[in-house]
Chain A
């Protein structure tokens, strides 16, 4: 495994954890959903993430807070089991872990990860054009129980991730599942925190 690949995977795996919610969704048409998502300028949610990793018998669990500010700032603050912070600001990805050196990456150096980031931000910002470049989008269900499936168009991405499934009810995202190409899985349930206006 090359350093690039390791970092690549690191970025991608970390971004899976960010993708969630903070967005509201409508039903039926993808374009309707996107229009609704675009209205969200910022948000705060809590998350609980379970990773199913082949070598480990039980899912490993983490939890914490998520923040999003349009157009391109994402922050994931993991509180359990260990405090970690991951900030994505424009093209810069900064990771702080207790007792470790700060990791400061320019996503411009990692095109696959950057493509992934752009699609996540595309979802959060409701930018259909950006998403459509990288993923085929499929919308299932009804307005009260919808599911948006993102599948990578190109092998560079699909070698890493098979699909992303986002579930929501009316305006709220409730769950995001990542299916990795190697069979590992991550489920993240998201709960929106009401913002005091």
Chain B
């Protein structure tokens, strides 16, 4: 027994540390959004994409569908909901295809046609230019669109308005049923809502979603009418809910499971509480460490904490059972130390991960495990009763020993499993990896399908290809978009691309507007040119007085600014394609593919890039989103493979150095390798492709499983039969807690948790079984062969 003062000091220090952790934790911000599991992008272009995904206007759009009831009721609900939300400050814009907004759009194009139209040049208003434009309009009168033209002709004989509308409207706009937007099959009324809150502001998004639901409920919808919603914000709100409910559910279930298990084994509440002390200390230290290291703690980190319970409780299990068995503790602590070290090496790989969320898990696990091990080593023995009375476990011990002794007969079977697993993985090759970034998304399959359906209904452009650049100010951004627009028009003429969109379509730069204003002739000149230009055409000049008046009015009017777009649906286009950021403006110009040829949906980005270079817009680049995200994820998978390989190697080196024997290091590593390979093969066999998180899980199998292999190894190192039995019992109990806690994660709906759980749970079990099978045989006299 040590001096009482030393004992007191230790316990005081422990209390002080826990208190400090609690102080840190109460001031910690807990988050549950998805950004932590969006990788930190390695290059500027990908960083921009991630930012856009998170903060851009696209992330602020909520797509709303109203289903059920009948079409008139859906239209009524759509109108009423839009009216209600338009008066709510939480929403910047609400569009549902109502006639008044469409009318505002048309009026915007008609009233501002001479500032907006690309065709407005001095040449257009010469006698010859007018003659050409007007005779084209007269020809068009004879065609199918004649009726539409004839109303515009007196004011707009050069047909600028129609040109603008054709430019603006796409083939894929939502259809209209009962005067409001509807899905293609007409069964769902549609609204597009822009929130004031940023997409990354999950609380703000949650409030917006709740406000929409509440507004809808207040409209007394007819029976059967229901509201569906999607969009980046909606999805992050729902995944946060999923994560929050999962985390509390898992934590509760994990704790209960382990408490029950330990009660069965210990049959002592006191031992149970003592056994949970390292776990609780570890959890507190882990959360505090993450809080200090990252400034916030992700909900998933807490969810992952249940696995820490399973791992950290092992130490006290080993301590209690083996001490009760009278085992020499010096050797015991050595094994625990080695076990903790190998686990740390495994979790350290997470720490280096490009996903901030995974890095959090790494730090949490390392600090938590170290704290749990330290508490088990230095605090628990002080609190244990002098004579530890544990229920007699020699019965199960004998059975386990028998099993363990006979298990070596299974070695040929293990060899078959090993060869089959390795062969199967080799055969599958690269196909064992899932390369889709959204395989990590906690968004459920049903929600993803709804999102895709609403997106298609909305005619939302496929944002696969876009041209992007940044500019110092608003005007430079628009001028850049105009320069690129000329280059893109050339590409569209050559059918390299099918179409493109530009913020300058609805809001030209001041310079361009100024140039157009300057191109418009004065009244006398215009009249003269018109008289001359109308020669030979069946229209008399006096019928076109409205045209002359409108041109004159445009010459002296103020130029268009962003404020002029308010209330039109073009405002949304302008804001989503011209994004104001902290220090600059980001311009996005989506490209549509030409649809021509065998690969009509693919754009030759190299050719686009080449032509863009000639447009002299600094930093303009074409992005293939599909390519970028695939590359991004492939990069992570590659990094993770490297980390896992280094982590595995580090574990082997660690074992080699600690055990100072190559055969022993190999005999400890072999069952781990077998476990990793067979779990991977099982996953692939179950037709689950593995993600980056499965890879992380495999590394954890090695890290966690090393404890079992080490104890089997030490068991072979000259201990008595009673001790060996005791060791076996403690190993099986510890394994049960680990398998249970990780296994629970495996049932989670959150892919990040279920991937790790479903890998480590079975992996830990197999590691124990394989360790037993591969353990070197122990002769009855206690010497290994």
Q: Is B145 an interface residue (CB 8 A)?
A: yes
Given A108-B177, A109-B175, does the pair A55, B153 have CB atoms closer than 8 Å?
yes
Which residues between 89 and 114 of chain B lie within 8 Å of chain A, taking CB atoms?
A: 99, 102-103, 105-106
In the bound complex, how far is the Cα of B145 from the Cα of A86, in angstroms?
Answer: 11
Q: What A residues does B176 contact at CB under 8 A?
A: 4, 109
Interface string of B535-570 (1 = CB under 8 A from A): 000111001000000000000000000000000000
Q: What B residues does A106 contact at CB under 8 A?
A: 175
Contact check, A55 vs B171: say whether CB atoms are below 8 A apart.
Answer: no
Most buried by A among B103, B148, B175, B186: B148
Instruction: Tell me the smallest distance from the CB of B139 to a CB of chain A, in Å.
Output: 5
In the bound complex, how far is the Cα of B153 from the Cα of A184, in angstroms?
Answer: 14
A109 touches which one: B177, B538, B539 (CB < 8 A)?
A: B177
Which residues between 297 and 333 of chain B lie within 8 Å of chain A, taking CB atoms?
A: none
In the bound complex, how far is the Cα of B144 from the Cα of A79, in angstroms?
Answer: 12
Complex: chain A residue closest to B139, CB-CB = A81
Interface string of A97-109 (1 = CB under 8 A from B): 1001111101011
Q: What A residues does B103 contact at CB under 8 A?
A: 1-3
In the bound complex, how far is the Cα of B181 from the Cα of A4, in angstroms?
Answer: 12
Q: What A residues does B105 contact at CB under 8 A?
A: 3
Q: Is A12 an interface residue (CB 8 A)?
A: yes
In the bound complex, how far is the Cα of B678 from the Cα of A10, in angstroms?
Answer: 67
Contact check, B166 vs A13: say whether CB atoms are below 8 A apart.
Answer: no
Interface string of B140-161 (1 = CB under 8 A from A): 1111111110110110000000
In the bound complex, how far is the Cα of B140 from the Cα of A56, in angstroms?
Answer: 12
Interface residues on A, range: 35 or more
B141 touches which one: A6, A51, A78, A84 (CB < 8 A)?
A: A51
Q: What B residues does A58 contact at CB under 8 A?
A: 538
A14 touches which one: B102, B144, B175 (CB < 8 A)?
A: B144
Contact check, A184 vs B175: say whether CB atoms are below 8 A apart.
Answer: no
Q: Is A82 an interface residue (CB 8 A)?
A: yes
Q: What B residues does A6 contact at CB under 8 A?
A: 106, 148
Q: Is A37 an interface residue (CB 8 A)?
A: no
Q: What A residues does B423 contact at CB under 8 A?
A: none
Contact check, B144 vs A184: say whether CB atoms are below 8 A apart.
Answer: no
Contact check, B106 vs A1: say whether CB atoms are below 8 A apart.
Answer: yes
Q: What A residues does B293 contact at CB under 8 A?
A: none
Q: Is A60 an interface residue (CB 8 A)?
A: yes
Which residues between 54 and 105 of chain A lie within 8 Å of chain B, taking CB atoms?
A: 54-58, 60-62, 76, 78, 81-82, 84, 86, 95, 97, 100-104
In the bound complex, how far is the Cα of B34 from the Cα of A173, in angstroms?
Answer: 68
Q: What A residues does B543 contact at CB under 8 A?
A: 55
Contact check, A60 vs B146: say whether CB atoms are below 8 A apart.
Answer: yes
Given A56-B538, A106-B175, does the pair A13, B144 have CB atoms closer than 8 Å?
yes
Contact check, A57 vs B540: say whether CB atoms are below 8 A apart.
Answer: yes
Contact check, B539 vs A108: say whether CB atoms are below 8 A apart.
Answer: no
Q: What B residues does A84 contact at CB under 8 A?
A: 143-144
Q: Is A53 an interface residue (CB 8 A)?
A: yes
Q: Is B718 an interface residue (CB 8 A)?
A: no
Contact check, B106 vs A81: say whether CB atoms are below 8 A apart.
Answer: no
Contact check, B175 vs A9: say whether CB atoms are below 8 A apart.
Answer: no
Q: Is B138 an interface residue (CB 8 A)?
A: yes
In the bound complex, how far is the Cα of B454 from the Cα of A163, in angstroms?
Answer: 42
Q: Is A187 an interface residue (CB 8 A)?
A: no
Q: Is B72 an interface residue (CB 8 A)?
A: no
Complex: chain B residue closest to A80, CB-CB = B142
Given A4-B176, A10-B148, does the pair A100, B142 have CB atoms closer than 8 Å?
no
In the bound complex, how far is the Cα of B146 from the Cα of A57, in angstroms?
Answer: 15
Complex: chain B residue closest to A63, CB-CB = B142
Given A3-B105, A58-B538, does the pair A49, B142 have CB atoms closer than 8 Å?
yes
Q: Is B179 an interface residue (CB 8 A)?
A: yes
Contact check, B143 vs A56: say whether CB atoms are below 8 A apart.
Answer: no
In the bound complex, how far is the Cα of B62 from the Cα of A11, in angstroms?
Answer: 33
In the bound complex, how far is the Cα of B110 from the Cα of A1, in angstroms?
Answer: 10
In the bound complex, how far is the Cα of B166 from the Cα of A101, in angstroms?
Answer: 7
Complex: chain B residue closest to A96, CB-CB = B144
In the bound complex, how far is the Cα of B141 from the Cα of A62, in angstroms?
Answer: 9
Interface string of B108-150 (1 = CB under 8 A from A): 0000000000000000000000000000001111111111101
In the bound complex, how far is the Cα of B521 from the Cα of A163, in angstroms?
Answer: 43
Most buried by A among B105, B106, B142, B543: B142
Q: What A residues does B99 contact at CB under 8 A?
A: 2-4
Q: Is A148 an interface residue (CB 8 A)?
A: no
In the bound complex, how far is the Cα of B139 from the Cα of A60, in angstroms?
Answer: 7
Interface string of A179-193 (1 = CB under 8 A from B): 000001000000000
A4 touches which one: B139, B143, B179 (CB < 8 A)?
A: B179
Most buried by A among B147, B175, B177: B147
Contact check, B154 vs A55: say whether CB atoms are below 8 A apart.
Answer: yes
B150 touches which one: A49, A55, A95, A101 (CB < 8 A)?
A: A55
Q: Is A164 an interface residue (CB 8 A)?
A: no
In the bound complex, how far is the Cα of B227 from the Cα of A128, in angstroms?
Answer: 43
Q: Is A17 an interface residue (CB 8 A)?
A: yes
Complex: chain A residue closest to B540, CB-CB = A57
Contact check, B106 vs A56: say whether CB atoms are below 8 A apart.
Answer: no
Which residues between 102 and 135 of chain A lie within 8 Å of chain B, taking CB atoms?
A: 102-104, 106, 108-109
Which residues between 1 and 57 of chain A lie within 8 Å of chain B, taking CB atoms?
A: 1-4, 6, 9-10, 12-14, 17, 49, 51, 53-57
Complex: chain B residue closest to A4, CB-CB = B99
Given A51-B141, A97-B143, A106-B175, does the pair A57, B539 have CB atoms closer than 8 Å?
yes
Given A51-B142, A60-B142, A97-B143, does the pair A9, B540 have CB atoms closer than 8 Å?
no
Q: What A residues does B171 contact at CB under 8 A?
A: 101-104
In the bound complex, how far is the Cα of B170 from the Cα of A6, in angstroms?
Answer: 16
In the bound complex, how far is the Cα of B245 from the Cα of A61, in angstroms?
Answer: 71
Q: What A residues does B139 contact at CB under 8 A?
A: 60, 81-82
In the bound complex, how far is the Cα of B142 from the Cα of A2, in angstroms?
Answer: 22
Contact check, A86 vs B148: say whether CB atoms are below 8 A apart.
Answer: no
Q: What A residues does B150 contact at CB under 8 A?
A: 53-55, 184
Instruction: Tell me the smallest distance from the CB of B186 to a CB of chain A, in Å.
Output: 7
Complex: chain A residue closest to B177, CB-CB = A109
Instruction: Tell me the smallest distance from the CB of B178 to a CB of chain A, in Å.
Output: 9
Instruction: Tell me the smallest distance from the CB of A171 to a CB of chain B, in Å.
Output: 28
Contact check, B143 vs A55: say whether CB atoms are below 8 A apart.
Answer: no
In the bound complex, how far is the Cα of B177 from the Cα of A12, in angstroms?
Answer: 18
Given A4-B99, A4-B179, A101-B166, does the pair A10, B144 have CB atoms closer than 8 Å?
yes
Given A10-B148, A58-B538, A101-B166, does the pair A108, B186 have CB atoms closer than 8 Å?
yes
Instruction: Tell me the smallest distance from the CB of B600 to a CB of chain A, in Å.
Output: 15
Contact check, A12 vs B147: say whether CB atoms are below 8 A apart.
Answer: yes
B102 touches which one: A2, A10, A76 (CB < 8 A)?
A: A2
Given A56-B138, A100-B166, does the pair A4, B102 have CB atoms closer than 8 Å?
yes
Instruction: Tell me the smallest distance from the CB of A192 to a CB of chain B, in Å.
Output: 22
In the bound complex, how far is the Cα of B141 from the Cα of A109, in angstroms?
Answer: 25
In the bound complex, how far is the Cα of B105 from the Cα of A14, in angstroms?
Answer: 24
In the bound complex, how far is the Cα of B175 from the Cα of A14, in angstroms?
Answer: 20
Complex: chain A residue closest to B145, CB-CB = A10
Q: What A residues does B102 contact at CB under 8 A?
A: 2-4
In the bound complex, how far is the Cα of B621 from the Cα of A86, in angstroms?
Answer: 40
Contact check, A1 vs B147: say whether CB atoms are below 8 A apart.
Answer: no
Instruction: Tell me the smallest distance from the CB of B501 to a CB of chain A, in Å.
Output: 13
Contact check, A13 vs B148: say whether CB atoms are below 8 A apart.
Answer: yes
Complex: chain A residue closest to B543, CB-CB = A55
In the bound complex, how far is the Cα of B154 from the Cα of A95, in angstroms?
Answer: 25
Q: What A residues does B154 contact at CB under 8 A?
A: 55
Per CB-CB distance, the 7 closest pairs between chain A and chain B, nearest first, are: A13-B147, A58-B538, A62-B142, A60-B142, A14-B144, A3-B102, A57-B538
- 12 residue pairs of the A-B complex, CB under 8 angstroms, read A3-B106, A4-B102, A9-B147, A10-B144, A13-B146, A55-B150, A56-B538, A60-B538, A81-B139, A82-B140, A86-B144, A95-B145
Given A4-B179, A13-B144; 5 other pairs, CB 8 A cutoff: A12-B147, A55-B539, A84-B144, A101-B166, A108-B175
Interface residues of B (CB under 8 A from A): 99, 102-103, 105-106, 138-148, 150-151, 153-154, 166, 170-171, 175-177, 179, 186, 538-540, 543
